[in-house]
Chain A
Amino acid sequence: MNDDPLLARLAGLAVEPPDGLLDRIAARWIAVPSPIGELSVAWTARGVAYVHQGDGFSGAFRARFGRPLMPATRPPAGLVPALRTGRLSGLALDLEELGEFQRDVLRAVQAVPRGEVRPYAWIAARAGRPGAVRAVGTALARNPVPLLVPCHRVTRSDGALGEYVFGPAAKQRLLLAEGVDLGRLDGLAKERVFYLASDTTGVVCFPTCHNARRITPAHRHGFRTLGAARTAGYRPCRTCRPDLQAA
């Protein structure tokens, strides 16, 4: 049969797929260190898709992404520093599986600088849905890439830290590790102070804004609401944008 030239040529039309084909189908995973202990991280050809803590990683990934998962020998370049600092520095994320609202929310969260916190309402406004404060909480609870999209920097407007994908204790550890003075924030919240203003600049900020941290005690004024600060003649900081949330 192989003497037939046509059959031999047809058999010659069989080809091996390109090497990259498997990466379009399967995700890779690896366990890496982080400030809150070992994490399992999965990524696709597009970028990092999933960060998981504790047991049940492969089952959770399968339920969520429906994609095969294969072990990798090394993490993608920049992953470990990004987990440590919360700065991506070019590390790509794959947020394709998410809905538009959740992607907008995560993009808004990426605007919160290391060492600072913002209220849920601020994220909702920045994501273009000022009324959707509870939906922001839900979206963050399902953040597939915690630490890389630093949802631990989103806290309740009453000063409480609020929930976290990996539990409130991990949220506290992460914020302390990046230099947020939680004791001071708690003290301010007990005095019902959620905004700090400077009478030398005439600007009012969120307490963790780097501009607020520079105000000397003699010139610092605390406010419970942004409205009260405005009435007192202060304008919202253009860096931390406390005016963004519906007030």
Chain B
Amino acid sequence: MDCLDPVRKALLDDLDEGFAELYGAHRGVVFSTALRLSGRWADAEDLAAETFLRAYRAVAGYDAERIAALQTRPWLLTILMNIWRNCGRAKSRKPPPDLREEPVDTVDPREGVEESALRRETGDELAGLLALLPEEQRLAVVLRHVSDLPVSEIATVLRIPEGTVKSHVSRGLKRLRTLGGVR
């Protein structure tokens, strides 16, 4: 048990303290992934909150052995993907919204005017291009290059072979370069 990371150690010790560790260690990657998948600040908050809540409820039912074996980051992102896909399915039953007319609120409310103006030239533009990628390419690019996951972990989260992850990433990047005119 000595080789366990602090998150799993804390989860084994006390579920609530363990959750605080889990949240502290992975809040950035979960929220960034949620934001770049959904493209909306409010949706990202809902997605990330729901992910952590479901994770907590799941781990409350796990025995010590299962917690000790838990790969917390891909496990959390798998939960996020499941929620995202389920709500995507629910949305696809309704008529699709016209993306060009919907206001996109990707701006962090804490951000100052200058910072936000600066980011609009970089972040928002690129985030907008991400939204134009086919779903499987966007997922792969976001997990690989925004959330900085290794290919093997992305394969686990998306439940596809590593080779497929690589090809989705490279096709996604190629498309982004074409769309954005980035060399």
Q: List A residues at the B interface (Cβ < 8 Å).
A: 5-7, 9-18, 21-22, 24-26, 58, 62, 66-70
With A7-B145, A10-B126, A70-B20 as given contacts, are A16 and B56 in contact (CB-CB < 8 Å)?
no
Residue of A nearest to B41 (CB): A18
Contact partner of A18 (CB less than 8 A), chosen from B16, B20, B109, B130, is: B109
Chain B residues close to A by CB (< 8 Å) = 15-16, 19-20, 23, 27-32, 35-36, 44-45, 48-49, 52-53, 56-57, 60, 108-110, 122-123, 126-127, 130, 141, 145-148, 173, 176-177, 180, 182-183
**Cβ contact within 8 Å between B126 and A13:** yes
Compute how far the CA of A5 lies from the CA of B145 in the bound complex, rounded to whole angstroms.
12
Chain B facing A: main interface SS: helix
Given A12-B122, A21-B49, A66-B60, A5 and B182 contact (CB-CB distance below 8 Å): yes
List of A residues within 8 angstroms of B147 by Cβ:
14
A13 in complex: contacting residue of B29, B32, B53, CB < 8 Å: B32
> In the complex, are the beta carbons of A10 and B16 less than 8 A apart?
no
A9-B122, A15-B108 are contacts. A25–B49 as well, Cβ < 8 Å? yes
Q: In the bound complex, what is the Cα–Cα distance between A18 and B105 (angstroms)?
A: 14
**Given A6-B177, A66-B57, 7 other A-B contacts at CB below 8 A?**
A6-B176, A6-B180, A13-B32, A13-B123, A14-B147, A25-B56, A68-B16
Number of A-B residue pairs with CB-CB distance less than 8 Å in the complex they form: 91
CB <8 Å contact, B16 and A9? no
CA distance A16 to B26 in the complex (A): 10
**Complex interface: chain B residues within 8 A of A66 (CB):** 53, 56-57, 60
Question: Contact check: which of A7, A15, A22, A24 meets B32 at CB < 8 Å?
Answer: A15
Q: Is the CB of A15 within 8 A of B28?
A: yes
Docked Cα-Cα span, A58 to B14, in Å, equals: 11
Report the bound CA distance from A26 to B45 in whole Å.
14
- In the bound assembly, the distance between CA atoms of A171 and B8 in angstroms comes to 43
Indicate the member of A9, A13, A21, A70 with the most B CB atoms within 10 Å. A13
| A68 and B56 contacting across the interface, CB-CB below 8 Å | yes
Known: A13-B126, A15-B108. A67 touches B56 (CB 8 A): yes
Which residues from chain B contact A68 at a C-beta distance below 8 Å? Answer: 15-16, 19-20, 23, 52, 56
Q: Which residues of B contact A70 (CB under 8 A)?
A: 16, 20
Q: Which residues of A contact B60 (CB under 8 A)?
A: 62, 66
A-chain residues with CB within 8 Å of residue B53 when the two chains form the complex:
25, 66-67
